[in-house]
Structure 1
Amino acid sequence: MILWITLLILLGLLLFIAELVLLPGITLAAVGAFICLVAAATWAFVGGGLVTGFIVLGIILFCLSILTLLFLRPKTWNRVALKTNIDSQVQPVEIEKQVEVGVQGYTLTRLAPMGKVQIGDTIFEAKSLDSYIDPRREVVVIGYDNANIIVRPL
């Protein structure tokens, strides 16, 4: 009897930990933990009497309190949390500072209406306003749209 009560308590505590850490909210793990722990306490009251039942109930409540405090502390989550800061940018330098209006280049891909152009030694994302532009065609920069260059064919 003590073995089964102990196994039910351990299973209930494992399901409780899974509920706290892996599956927050009311899920099957929470329901399973509740059923296991209530079954262990009931079995202790029925099979061992009042003293054994209250001892088992006290052990269950103590373990649940300790686990809750342990897993809900911020220090616990700081050990497993990602500590890397992402400080990169999509466009590190403003496009207006890299390419001036009137500069010529050529298309690497078809601009329909977006595609890649090469201006000097640098490849940029470009946009054509009026028509599709085939690959390997000369283009001229006529403006900017956010991080894109607006071009037209020569």
Structure 2
Amino acid sequence: MVQHVVINRELSEEVVQEIFIIVWQDAAKYQPATGTPMAWLMTIAHRRAVDKVRATQSSRNRDHRWATTAPSAYDGVLDDVTDKMDAQILIASLACLSALQRESIVLAYFGSLTYQEISVKLSVPLPTIKSRIRDGIQKLRTQIETP
């Protein structure tokens, strides 16, 4: 009966051991007027088996909740501070660029425009925009990597 309720063989064996301990300890509580010894034993077994199933399911639910909520419980303060510091360094580094390079880079990376869109917006040939951005990024990289 226990294995039918619990299904897992190892857990069923644990439950049966617990049942034997309960029966041994509570044998004096058995009252013949309320039913047969087998009925008393089966009642204890069924209750203990159901308890084990509920406990196992509850544990799985907790593990699942923890696994799915852990990322959202992540404290992103360090990442926010690091991102803000990186942004401050980048903004300060933009000062080393020429006005034309800065304008092209700001439009590309902060304005989310393509090279073609920047070319049209500034009325400048596409190869010139590409060169400005490439040269500006190289300057930025040098500026940021230099301590």
Q: TM-score, normalised by structure 1?
A: 0.31
More strand, by proportion = 1
Normalising by structure 2, what TM-score?
0.32
The one of the two structures with greater contact order (alpha-carbon pairs below 8 A, sep at least 6) is 2
More helix by share: 2
